[in-house]
Amino acid sequence: MITSPHQPDDLTVGTEAAPPPAPRDPKKIKWLRRKRALAGFWLVYRQSKMGMVGLILLVTFIFLALAAPLLVSRTDLGVSDPPGAPFLRPSGEFPLGTDDFGRSVLDLVIYGSRISLIVGFAATVMTMTVGAAVGIIGGYYGGKTDTLMNALTNWFLVIPWIPLAIVLASILGRSLFNTILVIGLTSWAGTARLVRADTLSVKERPYVERARALGASNWHLVSRHILPNVMPVIFANTVLTVALSILAETTLSLLGLGDPSSISWGGVIFDAFDAGALSAGLWWWLIPPGICICLVTLAFTMCGYALDEVLNPKIRER
């Protein structure tokens, strides 16, 4: 994913194995090159302890989210026929106690991983798409288009995100889709700025000039040369954006702007807060979802850090 088929210079790593017999089929060459670049990338990534811890954590949570329907029965999460009495302390039957309806907090936390991760990924896809589009269009076309795109980016960079998110969420209403939309709309600007800067430098490289001289269209240049080469920047940024999106979802939920009908970690904390868990000291209801948010965010951040070190040789240890 990191490497691209049309990457003229090997940006990622300098580990070259002995050249195998060259295949004739161009498709095979492409795949071979991808495989080799990926293997080289993995070799460097593996050395980062932080990156490995993050990756293991991440895989665990993704597995948990995928397996949630097998671990928890959906009926136990309904409020009409809860499995236990309300506000039970942690016990053998309910390892993390129960909430105000009598639902198992452990079940809520397991199921909540789904919404938190979905929002995190979906909002990130939106952020990246908008950010990359605005950044590449501005950087590639330059001139008035760039001025306009740059102004738009700067505006969105400056507007403080919480008030903007509050305004948007209040107007649009509370639903899962709107949560994703609000996070995407408020966080694409940083990506756009990074992508624009990178596009400006890629655009000037000789092979782009060569392709242009050969009569390549704008679309061809952007999709075949610019995009594949700014991909590493977008990708390293993506991982950190997922972390930020998950935190943003939590903040929105805690403000009471989350989707009331879906179970997310932020939503569980909000419900606990709303039901007076603070004054009643119901720690088992508050602590677990927060720790999960913290761990997942940390996992993404650690992976992002490690990725950045691999993809950006400038900051590798001198």
Partner 1 sequence: MGSRRYLLRKVLHAIATLTFVLAFNFVLFRAIGDPVKLLTRGGSLHLDPKEQQALREEFGLDDPLPAQFVNYLGDTLRGEFGYSFASGRPVIKEIREKMGPTLLLVGISTLLSAAIGILIGIKGAWRRGSAFDTGSLLGSLTLYSMPEGWLGMILLITFAGTLGWFPSGGIESTDQLTGFAHLVDLSKHLFLPCLTLTLGYLGEFAIIMRSSLLEVMGEDFVQTARAKGVRDKDVRRRHAVPNALLPTFTLAFYSVGFILGGAVLIEQVFSYPGLGQLTYGAIDQEDFPVIQAIFLLGSAAVIFFNLLADILYGYLDPRVKEA
Site for partner 1, rule CB under 8 A: 151, 154-155, 158-164, 166-168, 170-171, 243, 247, 250-251, 254-257, 266, 269, 273, 277-279, 281, 283, 286-287, 289-290, 293-295, 297-298, 301-302, 305, 315, 317-318
The least distance separating partner 1 from the CB of residue 311, rounded to whole angstroms, comes to 15
Distance of CA 144 to the CA centre of its chain: 32
HSE-up (13 A, CA, CB side) for residue 273: 14
Closer residue to partner 1 in complex, CB, 202/277: 277
Closer residue to partner 1 in complex, CB, 90/290: 290
Closer residue to partner 1 in complex, CB, 68/269: 269
Closer residue to partner 1 in complex, CB, 37/244: 244
> Rounded to an integer, what distance in angstroms lies between the CA atom of residue 303 and that of residue 318?
21
222: alpha, beta or left, given left = phi > 0 and alpha = psi -120 to 50? alpha
The least distance separating partner 1 from the CB of residue 83, rounded to whole angstroms, comes to 26
CA-based nearest residue to 3, from 63, 56, 44:
44
Contact status, residue 11 vs residue 232, Cβ threshold 8 Å: yes
What residue type is 193 in one-letter code? R
The least distance separating partner 1 from the CB of residue 251, rounded to whole angstroms, comes to 7
The least distance separating partner 1 from the CB of residue 154, rounded to whole angstroms, comes to 7
The least distance separating partner 1 from the CB of residue 267, rounded to whole angstroms, comes to 12
Closer residue to partner 1 in complex, CB, 49/220: 49
> Rounded to an integer, what distance in angstroms lies between the CA atom of residue 117 and that of residue 155?
29
Helix or strand or coil: residue 292?
A: helix
